[in-house]
Chain A
Amino acid sequence: MKRTLLWISALTIATMVSACGPKRPATTTGQGPAAFPGATTSAPATTPAPTSSGVVPPPPPVVIPPDQPVVAIDPLTKAPIEAINKDSPLKPVYFAYDSDVLDDAARKAMADNAEVMKKYSTWIVTIEGHCDERGTAEYNLALGDRRAIAAKNYMVTLGVPAERLRTVSYGNEFPFDPAHDESAWKQNRRAHFMLTAKD
C-alpha cells in the first residue's frame, strides 16, 4: 500500500513536470513519460493486482514550492513490468502474410523502440514472434521465430546490445485479436516487444 501511494505521488510529479516543462512536447509521439499514454490515468498501472481495471480517483494535488528544483521521477522506472507491458512504450512490428521481412513501418517502429531501450538502459526485452491462424501450428512456430529474430537483428543494428534482447516464438497460440478475418490476422502477424526484466 505504501509503495502504491509513493508511486502515485511519483506519477503526479512526473505528470506535472511533463505538463509544465517547456521543452516537453504536448503530443505523445515523443519518448519519455509523455509517450506512455495511460500511465497517468490508468489504474492497473498503479495497482499490481492483475484483475483491476477501474480508474484511480485523481490524487490530491501536490504543491511544489516555486524556485525549488524539481527532480522528475519517470514513472517507467518505478512501474511494475506488467503495468508497463499493458500499455507499452515499445511498439509492435507487423508483417505481411507468411513473411518475416521488415517493411518501412516496421523499421520506423523499431527506431522508436531503440530510443526507448537506450533511455531505459536496464531493460531486457523479449521479442515475441506471433502469427495469424491461417498456416499450421508447427510451421507458425518456426515463422514466429524468424519474425522475432529479424526484429532482434534490426534492433542490434540500431545500437541496442544483443544481450538485452531475447526472442521466443508463440506461433499462432496467443492471438492478439481472436477474430477470424483479415483485420484480426493483421494484428496477429507481429513481433511483440515484451519487457522482461529491468533494474
Chain B
Amino acid sequence: MRIVVRSLVGVLVAGGVLTAATSIPAGVTSLPLQDPQKPPQQTEIVLTADKPGSHPKVGVPDFTVTGDAKVKEAADLVANVLWADLEYEREFYMINRKSSASIPVAATPGTLPFDQWQQIGADFVLMGSAKASGSALTVEIRLISTRGDKPGHEDFGQTFSGCSVENARYCAHAIADDMHKRIRGVDGIARTKIAFTSDREPGRMTTRPVEDSGQSKEIYIMDYDGANVRPITRNKSLNVAPSWGPDGRTLAWTSWASVYPDIYLTSLDGRPATRPANGTEIIQNQHPAISPDGGKIAFSSSRGGKPGYYDIWVIDRDGTNLRNLTPNTVDWSEGAPTWNPNGNQIAYTSDRGGSNQLYVMNADGTGSRRVTFAGPVDRPTWSAKNFIAYTLRQPAGHDIAVLQLTGQQPVIITNGAGSNKQPTVSPNGRHIIFVTTRWGKEHLASVDIDGNNIKQLTTVGNNTYPNWSPSPR
C-alpha cells in the first residue's frame, strides 16, 4: 500500500489568498509510528506560497461517498478530523460544521449553492469525495472558491490514495499536513505523537511490596489530538519522563521496573528495551533526553557524587562514552536536561543558586550560565524553534513560561487556572502540551504559543510527562 498524492487539478491565484505554484520533486517520506506496515508517502505535488496573516474562511460539507456504510463512516471521520486538524493550526478560519449542515451537498463544484455558503461567510468550500476498494480508501479533496468573478473556481485539488478505511484518522492528518504545507507554507503537526505517563489502567505497582502500593504508571503514546492511545510499557511499575529520538521511533524513559530508577531505551520494534546507563541501587539515573542527532542521551544521575545529589551526565546510546557534565562536590542537584536544536548546548535545572533555576551550558559541560531569575522553575523543554518552555512556580501554583534566550523577559503562557506543569513544544513551535489540574485530576492540555486555544486531550486517569514527537520525515 502506498499513499500516492497525485497532483493536481490546478493551483491558481484566487481572491489573493492562494498564490503561485512551484513544483517540488517527488519525495519519499516515512510515516513514523502510525502503522508500521504503512509505507512512505510519495508525492508529486505543486507547492503554493503562503499568505501569512490572512485567514480564509472554510466550510466543510459532508463528503460524497461511493461505497457502503463503512466507507461512509470513514469518510465522515476524515471530514471531521480534517476539519479539526485545520482548525487547530489556525491558518484557516474553520466554519463550524453544524452551521453548514443544512446546506445541500453538491456532487460537483459547479453545483455548489454558492449563495448559501456566502451567507454563512465561507470564502472556500472544502469538497471531499471518498471511495473504497476493499479496505483501501481514496479521498479526493478540492478547495473551491465561493467568491470573486468565478465562484466555483478550484484552488487546490488533491487525490489521496492508499489511505485505509480502518485508519481514516491518519488519512485526514496526512491531508491536513499536506494542505498546510502547500497552501500556507506551514509545517503541520497532524501526524505527530505524544508520549506520556498515565495511571489510567488499573494495576498495582508491583515493585513496592505492600498491598496498597499505589497504581502503576505506564508509558503511552497517542496522536497529537488525543486519539489512538496505546500502551508502550506493561511492567506494573513506575515509568516516567519519556523522550523521543529524532527518528520518531526511539523512546527513552525512566523506569523503576528494576526497583531503582534507570534509563530505558526502545526502538518500539518489539525488541526488549536496553539500559545504557546501567543503573543500580547506588547509581540511580533519571530523566533522559535524546540528542537531536540521536546518538547521545543526557540524563541526571546520582553516580559519583555525594549520595542524594544529582549531576547531568551524557552517554552514547550504546552505553559507551559516559561523562559527567556538571561535576561538583557541594550540595548542588542538577536535573531535567534538554538539548538545543543543534545539539551543541544543554539546558538543565540546578539549585546551586538557592532555588531551582534554569542554566544553559555547552554540550561538553563548559560555559554554564543561569538564564532564569524567578521561580523556582523546572522541566525545561528546548523547542525545535530555539525557545525554552518550562514550569514556573507562581504564588498560587505553577504556570507554563516561555523564554526566548535573546534577552527578553519570559512570557507566561497559562493563566493560573489549576496547576500547569511539564510543557512540551510542537515541532513547528506553535503549540504546547502540558499537564494541568484545572479539570480535577492531572490531564494533558494543548495551548497555542499565544495562550489561546486550550484543548483537553485526556479524560481518563492521571496523565503526566508529555513529550511531543518530531514530525515524520
CB-defined contacts of A120 to chain B, threshold 8 Å: none
Q: Does A146 contact B (CB under 8 A)?
A: yes
CB pair B217–A149 under 8 Å, yes or no, is no
Q: Does A173 contact B (CB under 8 A)?
A: yes
The answer for the CA separation of A44 and B211 in the assembled complex, in Å, is: 9
Given A136-B379, A138-B336, A142-B335, answer yes or no on A174-B214 (Cβ-Cβ < 8 Å). yes
Q: Does B349 contact A (CB under 8 A)?
A: yes
The answer for the CA separation of A95 and B421 in the assembled complex, in Å, is: 24
The answer for the CA separation of A141 and B285 in the assembled complex, in Å, is: 11
CB-defined contacts of A138 to chain B, threshold 8 Å: 241, 286-287, 335-336, 349, 378-379
CB pair A174–B281 under 8 Å, yes or no, is no
CB pair B261–A141 under 8 Å, yes or no, is yes
Nearest residue (CB) in A for B334 is: A142
Q: Which of A85, A168, A194 has the most CB of B within 10 A?
A: A168
* Stretch from B61-69, B98-106, B302-310, B361-369 at the A interface: B302-310
Nearest residue (CB) in A for B306 is: A149
Interface string of A82-121 (1 = CB under 8 A from B): 1001100000000000001000000000000000000000
Among residues 12 to 51 in chain A, which have CB atoms less than 8 Å away from a CB atom of chain B? 44, 50
CB pair B212–A137 under 8 Å, yes or no, is no
Q: Does A166 contact B (CB under 8 A)?
A: yes
CB-defined contacts of B393 to chain A, threshold 8 Å: 136
CB pair A145–B308 under 8 Å, yes or no, is yes
Nearest residue (CB) in B for A142 is: B333
Interface string of B210-224 (1 = CB under 8 A from A): 111110010000000
Q: Does B205 contact A (CB under 8 A)?
A: yes
The answer for the CA separation of A149 and B386 in the assembled complex, in Å, is: 38
CB-defined contacts of A195 to chain B, threshold 8 Å: 209
B212 to chain A, nearest CB (A): 7
Interface string of A132-143 (1 = CB under 8 A from B): 000111110110
Q: How many residues of A contact B (CB 8 A)?
A: 31
Q: Does B164 contact A (CB under 8 A)?
A: no
CB-defined contacts of A136 to chain B, threshold 8 Å: 356, 376, 378-379, 391, 393, 398, 421-422
Q: Does A154 contact B (CB under 8 A)?
A: no
Interface string of A152-168 (1 = CB under 8 A from B): 00000000000000111
CB-defined contacts of A150 to chain B, threshold 8 Å: 308
The answer for the CA separation of A135 and B379 in the assembled complex, in Å, is: 12
Which one of B240, B256, B310 lies within 8 Å of A142 (CB-CB)?
A: B310
Q: Does A170 contact B (CB under 8 A)?
A: yes
B356 to chain A, nearest CB (A): 6
The answer for the CA separation of A102 and B211 in the assembled complex, in Å, is: 28
CB-defined contacts of A50 to chain B, threshold 8 Å: 204, 211
Q: Does A196 contact B (CB under 8 A)?
A: yes
CB pair A174–B209 under 8 Å, yes or no, is no
Among residues 250 to 302 in chain B, which have CB atoms less than 8 Å away from a CB atom of chain A? 256, 259-261, 281, 284, 286-287, 300, 302
CB pair A173–B217 under 8 Å, yes or no, is yes
CB-defined contacts of A86 to chain B, threshold 8 Å: 210-212
Size category of the B interface is 35 or more
A198 to chain B, nearest CB (A): 11
A89 to chain B, nearest CB (A): 14
Q: Does B432 contact A (CB under 8 A)?
A: no
Q: Does A184 contact B (CB under 8 A)?
A: no
CB pair A173–B211 under 8 Å, yes or no, is no
The answer for the CA separation of A138 and B241 in the assembled complex, in Å, is: 9
Nearest residue (CB) in A for B422 is: A137
CB pair A149–B307 under 8 Å, yes or no, is yes
The answer for the CA separation of A195 and B241 in the assembled complex, in Å, is: 28
Which one of B205, B210, B260, B286 lies within 8 Å of A82 (CB-CB)?
A: B210
CB pair A81–B335 under 8 Å, yes or no, is no
Q: Which of A44, A142, A149, A169 has the most CB of B within 10 A?
A: A142
A83 to chain B, nearest CB (A): 8
CB-defined contacts of A194 to chain B, threshold 8 Å: 208-210
A173 to chain B, nearest CB (A): 6
CB pair A141–B214 under 8 Å, yes or no, is no
CB pair A168–B286 under 8 Å, yes or no, is no
Nearest residue (CB) in A for B310 is: A142
The answer for the CA separation of A170 and B211 in the assembled complex, in Å, is: 17
CB-defined contacts of B213 to chain A, threshold 8 Å: 174
**21 pairs across A/B with beta carbons < 8 Å?**
A44-B211, A50-B204, A82-B209, A85-B210, A86-B211, A126-B259, A136-B421, A137-B378, A137-B379, A137-B421, A138-B287, A142-B308, A145-B302, A149-B307, A167-B281, A168-B260, A168-B261, A173-B214, A173-B217, A174-B205, A196-B209
Residues of B within 8 A of A (CB): 204-205, 208-214, 217, 238, 240-241, 256, 259-261, 281, 284, 286-287, 300, 302, 307-310, 333, 335-336, 349, 356, 376, 378-379, 391, 393, 398, 421-422, 464-465
Residues of A within 8 A of B (CB): 44, 50, 81-82, 85-86, 100, 126, 128, 135-139, 141-142, 145-146, 148-150, 166-170, 173-174, 194-196
The list of the 10 closest CB pairs from A to B, nearest first, reads: A136-B378, A174-B214, A85-B210, A149-B308, A146-B308, A50-B211, A138-B336, A142-B333, A145-B308, A149-B307
